[in-house]
């Protein structure tokens, strides 16, 4: 998945807003004012095989699953500038299949929504 595809998938989640609270080059995706993802160019100047810049996607994650994903994929590491126990950084270098990245995004979104008050959950569920 490339940056444009990831962005479209993130922004089309129910009630998601794109913000830039950290820097204009760091996209922060929030549902009901709660962050569930960030998307930014690699801070290490990485490039993909075609010479395109590599993007980093930060996603919230269950702590046990976070460790499992880091063990399974070289492109998943502890969350860059995030709580390392609860966040992973996914390097969008083409090494992880699209359906798996989408599953990780869905899990991050659902983890954040699950911690919201019941009235907010119902509002979001109405848009699914």
Least confident stretch, 48-57, 58-67, 119-128: 48-57
Output the pLDDT for position 48.
64
> What is the domain extent for residue 49?
3-125
CA dist., res. 20 & res. 25, Å (int) = 8
Domain containing residue 85: CATH number: 3.90.1150.30
**pLDDT of the residue at 49:** 63
Please give the tally of structural domains in the chain: 1
pLDDT digits (tens, 9 = 90+) for 9-59: 999 999 999 999 998 999 999 999 999 999 998 866 666 666 678 899 999
Quote the pTM value. Answer: 0.92
* Pure H helices in the chain: 3-11, 63-72, 98-114, 118-125
Residue in 49, 52, 67, 60 with CA at minimum distance from that of residue 10: 60
- High-pLDDT (> 70) share of the chain, %: 93
């Amino acid at each position: 998945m490339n940056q444009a595809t990831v962005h479209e998938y993130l922004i089309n989640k129910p009630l998601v807003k794109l913000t830039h609270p950290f820097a204009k080059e760091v996209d922060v995706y929030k549902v009901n004012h709660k962050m569930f993802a960030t998307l930014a160019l690699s801070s290490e100047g990485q490039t993909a095989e075609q010479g395109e810049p590599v993007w980093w996607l930060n996603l919230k994650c269950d702590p046990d699953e976070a460790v499992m994903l880091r063990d399974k994929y070289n492109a998943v590491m502890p969350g860059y500038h995030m709580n390392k126990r609860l966040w992973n950084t996914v390097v969008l270098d083409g090494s992880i299949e699209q359906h798996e990245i989408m599953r990780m995004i869905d899990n991050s979104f659902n983890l954040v929504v699950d911690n919201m008050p019941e009235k907010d959950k119902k509002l979001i569920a109405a848009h699914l």
